[in-house]
A = this chain, B = another copy of it.
Amino acid sequence: MAERIAGPEIERLIQLLARLPGLGPRSARRVALHLMRKREELLGPLSEAMRVAYERIVTCSRCGNIDTSDPCAICVDTRRDASTLIVVETVADLWALERAQPFRALYHVLGGVLSPLDGVGPDDLNLPKLIERAQSGDIREVILAVNATVDGQTTAHYIADLLVPTGVKTTRLAHGVPVGGELDYLDEGTLAAALERRTAL
């Protein structure tokens, strides 16, 4: 806003809201107005929930997940198969897999992938703890659930090599046609992989 039309506190709120993913200056104003109209039902509770999250979130020292306890809720869940470790790039990927999942395993969050162009090397990833966990004797399989990008696949191969001495079985996600996907819209690499790894009906 060119001129001040509301107190600086409201303008600061709008500026911060505009930095959320998916929001711009216009939608940030709409969100701010909505919050102010729903002061008791939404603004108050959300402000409090953010404060609590700010104070309590920690990175799990075991797996690298973000949660309000350390170890995180997943690491201490005794109903999970503790012999299988799913390696993911980010907490977002962990959440995506958990939503998908018929598979109750443990996780390990790398915090990124190897990317020489972006200056991300092995020391920037949560790797020493992964080796440590693989060596502990509790793990029988490590599933490398990294993105199917060049950097992701490079990282998968790098980790697979690192894990060879531990003797733990290392697998990666299958390549193929997404469920519900239309062939016409898929790239050649995916189609070639899907053809090559075709399965019997």
The interface of chain A, by Cβ under 8 A from chain B, is 1-10, 12-13, 16-17, 19-23, 27, 29-37, 39, 42-54, 56-57, 65-69, 72-74, 90-92, 94-95, 98-99, 184
Contacts and interface: CB of A to CB of B under 8 A. Distances in A.
A34 B21 contact: yes
Contacts of A6: 65-68, 72-73, 95
B36 A66 contact: yes
Nearest to A68: B7
Given A31-B20, A33-B92, A45-B16, A5 B98 contact: yes
Contact of A50 (B47, B56, B184): B47
A22 B19 contact: no
B23 A35 contact: no
Given A16-B42, A30-B21, A9 B54 contact: no
A30 B22 contact: yes
A39 B66 CA distance: 11
Nearest to A107: B5
A92 B94 CA distance: 39
A13 B49 CA distance: 5
B68 A33 contact: no
A1 B74 CA distance: 13
Contacts of A67: 6-7, 10
A110 to B, nearest CB: 14
B22 A68 contact: no
A188 to B, nearest CB: 10
Given A22-B22, A29-B95, A30-B22, A9 B45 contact: no
